[in-house]
Amino acid sequence: MLDFDGPICSVFSGLPASSVAAGLLDFLRRKAVQLSPAMMVEEDPLEVLRWTANHAPEHLSPIEDELCRAEEVAVQTAEPAPGAATFIREATQHGWSVGVVSNNSARSVLAFLELQGLTADVHAIVGRVHSRPDLMKPDPAPVLRALIMAGHSAVASVLVGDSVTDVLAANSAGVQAIGYANRPEKWVGLVDAGAIVVINKMDELAPALLAAAAGGSNGSEDAAAPGDGQVP
Protein backbone atom coordinates (compact mmCIF):
# COMPACT_ATOMS: atom_id res chain seq x y z
CA MET A 1 0.00 0.00 0.00
CA LEU A 2 1.19 3.49 -0.86
CA ASP A 3 0.25 6.83 0.58
CA PHE A 4 -0.64 9.27 -2.21
CA ASP A 5 0.68 12.73 -1.37
CA GLY A 6 4.42 12.12 -1.16
CA PRO A 7 5.19 8.60 -2.36
CA ILE A 8 3.17 8.95 -5.59
CA CYS A 9 3.07 12.68 -6.23
CA SER A 10 3.22 16.11 -4.66
CA VAL A 11 -0.49 16.92 -4.75
CA PHE A 12 -0.22 20.66 -4.24
CA SER A 13 2.99 21.33 -6.16
CA GLY A 14 1.07 23.21 -8.86
CA LEU A 15 -1.85 24.57 -6.86
CA PRO A 16 -0.36 25.47 -3.46
CA ALA A 17 -1.96 23.96 -0.38
CA SER A 18 -1.86 27.40 1.24
CA SER A 19 -4.10 28.79 -1.52
CA VAL A 20 -6.59 25.96 -1.06
CA ALA A 21 -6.61 26.48 2.70
CA ALA A 22 -7.12 30.22 2.22
CA GLY A 23 -10.15 29.54 0.04
CA LEU A 24 -11.67 27.27 2.67
CA LEU A 25 -11.05 29.85 5.38
CA ASP A 26 -12.64 32.58 3.26
CA PHE A 27 -15.74 30.39 2.96
CA LEU A 28 -15.91 30.04 6.75
CA ARG A 29 -15.46 33.79 7.22
CA ARG A 30 -18.33 34.47 4.82
CA LYS A 31 -20.45 32.20 7.01
CA ALA A 32 -19.49 34.33 10.04
CA VAL A 33 -17.55 31.50 11.65
CA GLN A 34 -15.22 32.76 14.37
CA LEU A 35 -11.79 31.37 13.57
CA SER A 36 -9.14 30.78 16.20
CA PRO A 37 -5.94 32.84 15.85
CA ALA A 38 -4.03 29.75 14.75
CA MET A 39 -6.67 28.80 12.21
CA MET A 40 -6.64 32.29 10.69
CA VAL A 41 -3.16 31.55 9.31
CA GLU A 42 -3.50 27.79 8.75
CA GLU A 43 -1.98 26.69 5.43
CA ASP A 44 -2.94 23.00 5.48
CA PRO A 45 -6.40 22.39 3.97
CA LEU A 46 -6.73 19.07 5.80
CA GLU A 47 -6.24 20.87 9.10
CA VAL A 48 -8.96 23.34 8.10
CA LEU A 49 -11.22 20.37 7.43
CA ARG A 50 -10.44 18.85 10.84
CA TRP A 51 -11.01 22.18 12.60
CA THR A 52 -14.34 22.67 10.84
CA ALA A 53 -15.52 19.24 11.97
CA ASN A 54 -14.77 20.14 15.58
CA HIS A 55 -15.78 23.81 15.69
CA ALA A 56 -18.24 24.47 12.84
CA PRO A 57 -19.75 21.08 11.95
CA GLU A 58 -22.74 22.69 10.25
CA HIS A 59 -20.34 23.82 7.50
CA LEU A 60 -18.37 20.58 7.26
CA SER A 61 -20.11 19.16 4.19
CA PRO A 62 -19.62 22.23 1.94
CA ILE A 63 -16.03 22.59 3.13
CA GLU A 64 -15.47 18.94 2.25
CA ASP A 65 -17.04 19.45 -1.17
CA GLU A 66 -14.85 22.47 -1.87
CA LEU A 67 -11.72 20.62 -0.77
CA CYS A 68 -12.58 17.67 -3.02
CA ARG A 69 -12.97 20.03 -5.98
CA ALA A 70 -9.67 21.71 -5.20
CA GLU A 71 -7.85 18.38 -4.94
CA GLU A 72 -9.17 17.27 -8.32
CA VAL A 73 -7.86 20.52 -9.82
CA ALA A 74 -4.55 20.23 -7.98
CA VAL A 75 -3.69 16.75 -9.26
CA GLN A 76 -3.86 18.01 -12.84
CA THR A 77 -0.56 19.80 -12.21
CA ALA A 78 0.81 17.60 -9.42
CA GLU A 79 4.46 16.62 -9.78
CA PRO A 80 4.92 12.83 -9.86
CA ALA A 81 7.33 11.37 -7.32
CA PRO A 82 10.43 10.21 -9.19
CA GLY A 83 10.42 6.44 -9.53
CA ALA A 84 6.87 5.95 -8.28
CA ALA A 85 5.23 5.09 -11.60
CA THR A 86 8.06 2.71 -12.46
CA PHE A 87 7.69 0.94 -9.13
CA ILE A 88 3.91 0.60 -9.47
CA ARG A 89 4.23 -0.91 -12.94
CA GLU A 90 7.03 -3.25 -11.92
CA ALA A 91 5.12 -4.33 -8.81
CA THR A 92 2.25 -5.47 -11.01
CA GLN A 93 4.66 -7.38 -13.21
CA HIS A 94 6.06 -9.13 -10.13
CA GLY A 95 2.59 -10.08 -8.92
CA TRP A 96 2.51 -7.61 -6.04
CA SER A 97 -0.88 -6.06 -5.33
CA VAL A 98 -0.67 -2.26 -5.10
CA GLY A 99 -3.21 -0.13 -3.26
CA VAL A 100 -3.35 3.58 -2.45
CA VAL A 101 -4.39 4.75 1.02
CA SER A 102 -4.78 8.51 1.18
CA ASN A 103 -6.14 11.35 3.28
CA ASN A 104 -6.98 13.00 -0.04
CA SER A 105 -10.21 12.24 -1.85
CA ALA A 106 -10.43 8.97 -3.76
CA ARG A 107 -11.58 10.86 -6.86
CA SER A 108 -8.42 12.97 -6.88
CA VAL A 109 -6.28 9.85 -6.53
CA LEU A 110 -8.10 8.20 -9.41
CA ALA A 111 -7.79 11.33 -11.55
CA PHE A 112 -4.03 11.41 -11.09
CA LEU A 113 -3.63 7.69 -11.78
CA GLU A 114 -5.63 8.12 -14.98
CA LEU A 115 -3.35 10.96 -16.08
CA GLN A 116 -0.32 8.75 -15.48
CA GLY A 117 -1.82 5.65 -17.10
CA LEU A 118 -1.60 3.70 -13.84
CA THR A 119 -5.19 2.70 -13.13
CA ALA A 120 -4.71 -0.87 -14.35
CA ASP A 121 -1.76 -1.30 -11.97
CA VAL A 122 -3.54 -0.18 -8.79
CA HIS A 123 -5.92 -2.68 -7.25
CA ALA A 124 -7.49 -0.59 -4.47
CA ILE A 125 -7.98 3.11 -3.77
CA VAL A 126 -9.03 4.24 -0.31
CA GLY A 127 -9.46 7.97 0.11
CA ARG A 128 -10.91 10.30 2.70
CA VAL A 129 -14.44 9.46 3.82
CA HIS A 130 -16.67 12.43 3.01
CA SER A 131 -17.19 14.66 6.04
CA ARG A 132 -15.37 12.25 8.37
CA PRO A 133 -11.92 13.73 8.89
CA ASP A 134 -11.78 11.81 12.16
CA LEU A 135 -11.30 8.67 10.04
CA MET A 136 -8.25 10.02 8.24
CA LYS A 137 -4.85 8.62 9.11
CA PRO A 138 -3.53 8.23 11.83
CA ASP A 139 -6.81 6.39 12.38
CA PRO A 140 -6.29 2.84 11.08
CA ALA A 141 -9.69 2.74 9.34
CA PRO A 142 -8.43 3.52 5.80
CA VAL A 143 -5.65 0.95 6.08
CA LEU A 144 -8.10 -1.68 7.26
CA ARG A 145 -10.46 -0.82 4.40
CA ALA A 146 -7.65 -1.24 1.90
CA LEU A 147 -6.78 -4.66 3.33
CA ILE A 148 -10.39 -5.77 2.93
CA MET A 149 -10.59 -4.45 -0.62
CA ALA A 150 -7.36 -6.18 -1.61
CA GLY A 151 -8.18 -9.38 0.25
CA HIS A 152 -4.83 -9.45 2.03
CA SER A 153 -3.90 -9.95 5.66
CA ALA A 154 -2.12 -7.28 7.68
CA VAL A 155 0.95 -9.45 8.21
CA ALA A 156 1.35 -9.92 4.45
CA SER A 157 1.13 -6.19 3.73
CA VAL A 158 3.18 -3.04 4.13
CA LEU A 159 2.32 0.66 3.93
CA VAL A 160 4.72 3.21 2.46
CA GLY A 161 4.21 6.75 3.71
CA ASP A 162 6.06 10.00 4.19
CA SER A 163 4.44 11.12 7.43
CA VAL A 164 4.26 10.01 11.03
CA THR A 165 0.49 9.62 10.66
CA ASP A 166 1.05 7.03 7.93
CA VAL A 167 3.29 4.98 10.19
CA LEU A 168 0.92 5.24 13.15
CA ALA A 169 -2.08 4.22 11.05
CA ALA A 170 -0.22 1.24 9.64
CA ASN A 171 1.01 0.04 13.01
CA SER A 172 -2.45 0.43 14.55
CA ALA A 173 -3.80 -1.80 11.78
CA GLY A 174 -1.10 -4.40 12.38
CA VAL A 175 0.73 -3.50 9.16
CA GLN A 176 4.45 -2.80 8.90
CA ALA A 177 5.36 0.66 7.66
CA ILE A 178 8.17 1.84 5.40
CA GLY A 179 8.99 5.51 5.73
CA TYR A 180 9.59 7.67 2.66
CA ALA A 181 11.82 10.56 3.70
CA ASN A 182 11.72 12.71 0.59
CA ARG A 183 13.09 15.47 2.82
CA PRO A 184 15.90 14.77 5.34
CA GLU A 185 14.01 16.33 8.24
CA LYS A 186 11.33 13.63 8.00
CA TRP A 187 13.72 10.78 8.73
CA VAL A 188 13.90 10.87 12.53
CA GLY A 189 10.14 11.21 12.98
CA LEU A 190 9.44 8.24 10.73
CA VAL A 191 11.93 6.06 12.59
CA ASP A 192 10.66 7.15 16.01
CA ALA A 193 7.07 6.42 14.93
CA GLY A 194 8.02 2.83 14.15
CA ALA A 195 8.93 2.58 10.46
CA ILE A 196 10.79 -0.68 9.88
CA VAL A 197 12.99 1.00 7.30
CA VAL A 198 13.25 4.45 5.76
CA ILE A 199 13.95 5.15 2.10
CA ASN A 200 14.91 8.44 0.50
CA LYS A 201 13.87 7.63 -3.06
CA MET A 202 11.04 5.55 -4.49
CA ASP A 203 13.68 3.71 -6.53
CA GLU A 204 14.71 2.10 -3.24
CA LEU A 205 11.25 0.73 -2.50
CA ALA A 206 11.56 -2.72 -4.07
CA PRO A 207 14.73 -3.56 -2.08
CA ALA A 208 13.06 -2.23 1.06
CA LEU A 209 10.04 -4.47 0.50
CA LEU A 210 12.31 -7.46 0.06
CA ALA A 211 14.02 -6.56 3.33
CA ALA A 212 10.66 -6.23 5.07
CA ALA A 213 9.56 -9.60 3.73
CA ALA A 214 12.74 -11.14 5.12
CA GLY A 215 11.71 -9.84 8.54
CA GLY A 216 15.19 -8.87 9.52
CA SER A 217 14.88 -5.11 9.85
CA ASN A 218 13.80 -2.66 12.51
CA GLY A 219 13.39 1.07 12.32
CA SER A 220 15.83 2.11 15.01
CA GLU A 221 18.81 0.02 13.89
CA ASP A 222 18.40 -0.76 10.22
CA ALA A 223 16.75 2.28 8.69
CA ALA A 224 18.77 4.40 6.30
CA ALA A 225 20.52 7.44 7.64
CA PRO A 226 19.32 10.79 6.30
CA GLY A 227 20.54 11.32 2.78
CA ASP A 228 22.40 8.06 2.27
CA GLY A 229 19.51 6.12 0.72
CA GLN A 230 20.55 2.76 2.15
CA VAL A 231 18.20 -0.08 2.95
CA PRO A 232 19.12 -3.22 4.87
What was the pLDDT predicted at 212? 62
Backbone angles phi, psi at 198, to 5 degrees: -125, 130
What was the pLDDT predicted at 93? 86
Mean pLDDT of 212-225: 46
pLDDT of 171 over the 60 cut:
yes
How far is 176 from 213, CA to CA, in rounded Å?
10
Q: Between the CA atoms of 22, 25, 30 and 32, what dihedral angle is there, to the nearest 10 degrees?
A: -150
C-alpha 199 chain-centroid distance: 15
78-222: which CATH topology? Rossmann fold (3.40.50)
- For residue 19, which amino acid is it? S
What was the pLDDT predicted at 224? 37
pLDDT of 103 over the 90 cut:
yes
Which range (2-6, 10-14, 173-177, 205-209) has the least confidence?
205-209
What was the pLDDT predicted at 221? 37
pLDDT band at 213, cuts 50/70/90?
low
Over the stretch 21-62, which tens digit does the pLDDT of each residue have? 999 999 999 999 999 999 999 999 999 999 999 999 999 999
How far is 186 from 42, CA to CA, in rounded Å?
21
Beta strands in the chain (DSSP E): 9-10, 79-80, 99-101, 124-126, 158-161, 176-180, 197-199
pLDDT of 231 over the 60 cut:
no
What was the pLDDT predicted at 230? 28
- Domain extent listing, the chain: 17-76, 78-222
